[in-house]
Structures are given as C-alpha cells and as structure tokens.
C-alpha cells in the first residue's frame, strides 16, 4: 500500500511532523484542523468544485489558501473532507512541498486523495494526513484497548473521525495480531494493506480477486450481499486459508495456515475485509 512506498526514515519523519501539528491543533481527539489553519493564517474555502479535485493548497503573495471539495454527499466535517484538509496541510508542513510552492518552482496541483498512484509527493501528503488525524501515540493507546478485529477498525474510525479505509491502513501497522486489510471497491481494483510481520514472513503479495468471484460462504462475499443502501453492514466472519489470499503461498506450503476472514460492507464504498493470522506466527 501507499505508505510502504516511502522509506521508513521518511515515513517516521513525516509521522513526527504530523504528530507535532496535531498537538499544536490542541492535542484533542478527534483532531480539529481548523484552529491550526487560523493560527498559521491559512484561509479556507470548502465548496462544491465538481470533479476538479479533492483539495488544493494555493500560494499567493506570501499567503496560503486551502480549497476543499465538498460534493453533494459530503460536508465540511466529513471524514473525507477532514482527510483532504490533512493532506493539504501536509503540503504546507512538509518543508520541501511548501518551499517549492512558495518559490513558484511548482504550481498548485489538484490533489485526489484516493489516487496518489506512484506520486511520492501525494503519498507523503496522505501519510501526513493519516498521522495528523491519527497521531501515533494516541492511535497505539486506542488500538491496545480494542480486541483485535474489524470491530476495532470501526470503533477507531469513529473515535478519530477518519474513514474506515484510512483507519484500516494504519490499523494493520499497529495490530498485535498479524493481519492484512483488503478493500473491494465497485468498479475499481481492490487494494490490500499488509502488516510488517506478514510482509517480513513472505506474505507480501495479496491475491485480489473480484468479490463476486469469491467462493460462496466467504465472509467478504456474504458481506457483499448486504444492500449498499444500508450503510455500515453487519460484520461477517468465517475461517479461511492463507494460501487462498496470498500469492506464492501454496496449499502445501508450511506457511499456509488457517486464518480468520472478517468482512463488512461500507455502504456504497464496497467491502472492507480483515484477514487475521494466528497470534505469535
């Protein structure tokens, strides 16, 4: 997933920077970005900008301005809008991004938070937003209080006011049980986030089948049957095997093992799946 594109050094540096910004914003959870905009004299325009961008950080005559796209179904305090503001703050707080913009070396760019692709700049801004809205120490404490599983992701998403998808990407990094998250999105390729322990043990490439192509009885397929209109569906759980979900793990491999598949429908966004491995793998 996206954050693993960055070196550990760079990611840790951005995480520290974001955590300091969250403290400056008042140190409360959920983090409130707006007072930080005020104290840095960054002006702010939420609005409906069609499909032009999710957000933009603009520099003009020494002043910074953030535009945040709030389409029909969105609102200024939504988890999506919060992540967008966090992303643009990343462009402001990361020295290289801010200096490039202020010097005129690079123009303002439209940010799309779901489409960072291979752009290091966008991945860095998303990483900042993640650690700004889920400061590492607070997030770790909150993870420790939860029973490992998908319910923990849903609870943390609500505590930190961040989408379940963004929460899941961070959760796999901190969960005490080895795990991987996968998101099946309608009309888009699924994404997978794999915890450091699993990556180290060679479970580093997840198979990403279409959710409809999964065998009957798989938790993700059962969750998919939940109507999208119902919003957050019920959490479904079923036993599964590592060899099904991970490339290069044959059924006969000693690395194959029984795992737990949990899945939930996130309304029209798709199905979020968590694969939990045995503790102490």
Give the residue with the Cβ less far from Zn ion, 85 or 156. 85
Does position 167 interact with Zn ion (CB under 5 A)? The reply is: no
Residue 90 CB, nearest approach to Zn ion (Å): 7
Give the residue with the Cβ less far from Zn ion, 49 or 244. 49
Window 86-115: residues binding Zn ion (CB under 5 A) = 111
Number of neighbours of residue 217 by Cβ within 10 angstroms:
10
Q: What contacts 25, CB < 8 A, 6 or more positions away?
A: 31, 32, 33, 35, 36
Give the residue with the Cβ less far from Zn ion, 47 or 117. 117
Q: Apex CA 60: angle with CA 57 and CA 63, to 5°? A: 75
Where is 182: in which H helix or E strand? strand 179-184
Residue 240 CB, nearest approach to Zn ion (Å): 36
Residue 61 CB, nearest approach to Zn ion (Å): 21
Q: Apex CA 54: angle with CA 48 and CA 56, to 5°? A: 100
Give the residue with the Cβ less far from Zn ion, 122 or 173. 122
Assign 3-state DSSP to the chain and report helix, strand, coil percentages, each to 5.
40, 20, 40
Alpha carbon distance 106, 239 (integer Å):
51
How many residues in the shown chain lie near Zn ion by CB under 5 A?
3
Q: Nearest CA to 125 among 35, 33, 11, 27? A: 11
Give the residue with the Cβ less far from Zn ion, 51 or 216. 51
From candidates 125, 152, 166, 236, binder to Zn ion by CB under 5 A: 125
Q: Which stretch binds Zn ion (CB under 5 A): 71-79, 100-108, 121-129, 175-183?
A: 121-129
Q: Which residues of this chain interact with Zn ion, rule CB under 5 A? A: 111, 122, 125
């Amino acid at each position: 997933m996206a954050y693993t594109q960055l070196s550990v050094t760079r990611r840790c540096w951005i995480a520290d920077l974001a955590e300091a910004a969250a403290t400056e914003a008042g140190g409360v959870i959920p983090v409130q970005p707006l007072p930080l905009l005020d104290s840095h004299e960054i002006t702010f325009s939420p609005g409906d900008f069609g499909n032009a961008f999710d957000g933009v950080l603009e520099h003009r005559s020494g002043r910074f301005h953030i535009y945040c796209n709030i389409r029909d179904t969105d609102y200024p305090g939504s988890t999506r809008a919060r992540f967008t503001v966090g992303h643009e703050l990343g462009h402001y707080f990361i020295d290289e991004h801010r200096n490039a913009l202020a010097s005129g070396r690079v123009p303002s760019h439209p940010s799309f938070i779901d489409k960072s692709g291979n752009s290091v700049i966008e991945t860095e801004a998303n990483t900042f937003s993640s650690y700004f809205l889920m400061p590492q120490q607070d997030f770790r404490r909150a993870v420790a209080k939860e029973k490992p599983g998908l319910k923990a992701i849903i609870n943390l998403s609500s505590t930190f006011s961040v989408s379940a998808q963004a929460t899941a990407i961070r959760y796999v990094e901190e969960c005490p049980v080895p795990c991987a998250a996968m998101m099946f999105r309608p009309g888009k390729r699924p994404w997978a986030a794999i915890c450091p322990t699993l990556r180290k043990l060679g479970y580093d490439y997840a198979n990403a089948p279409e959710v409809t192509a999964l065998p009957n009885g798989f938790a993700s397929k059962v969750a998919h049957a939940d109507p999208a209109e119902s919003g957050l569906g019920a959490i479904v759980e079923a036993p599964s095997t590592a060899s099904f979900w991970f490339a290069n793990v044959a059924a006969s491999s000693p690395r194959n093992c029984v795992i737990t598949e949990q899945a939930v429908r996130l309304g029209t966004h798709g199905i979020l799946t968590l694969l939990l491995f045995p503790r102490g793998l």
